[in-house]
Amino acid sequence: EAAARLEGECFGENITAEAFCRFAYAPANHYFCAVGEDGTLLGYGGISLVADEAEIITVAVSPACRRQGIARALMEHMLRLAADARATVYLEVRASNEAAIALYKSLGFFEAGRRKHFYKNPAEDALVMLKPLKED
């Protein structure tokens, strides 16, 4: 329920806890939570791994907890999972989300393309960002 509420708070998506869990527990998906000392959900991240590709599905951090390294920690955890699977990683991000874009670039992602009118409420393009698999 807390994750579904956070989804609405961060992305304006009204989703039930049941629907959130159904998606989070899909076979290829892996979700991770950041939890405060009092058990409060601070944020979560989701990654889908299929063969040698990994998609960062989402990263959400409570507005009250932003700029504390939570998104970076979630991303680093998901990137380790992708590296273990020897997967190239990609994600979509709102073109106006400068903070997220800066985080992703600092983690080695680069802009690989643009999806026109990808987001709704408000309508906006998505940048497609890619982090290639490191060759040994």
Q: Determine whether 98 is an active site residue.
A: no
Q: Which candidate in 7, 104, 111, 119 is catalytic?
A: 104
User: Sheet of 110-119: strands edge to edge?
Assistant: 29-35, 41-50, 53-61, 88-94, 124-131, 110-119
Tokens 């990683």 belong to 89
Q: Which candidate in 92, 119, 124, 135 is catalytic?
A: 92
Q: What is the DSSP letter of 77?
A: H
Q: Determine whether 92 is an active site residue.
A: yes
Q: Please list the active-site residues.
A: 92, 104
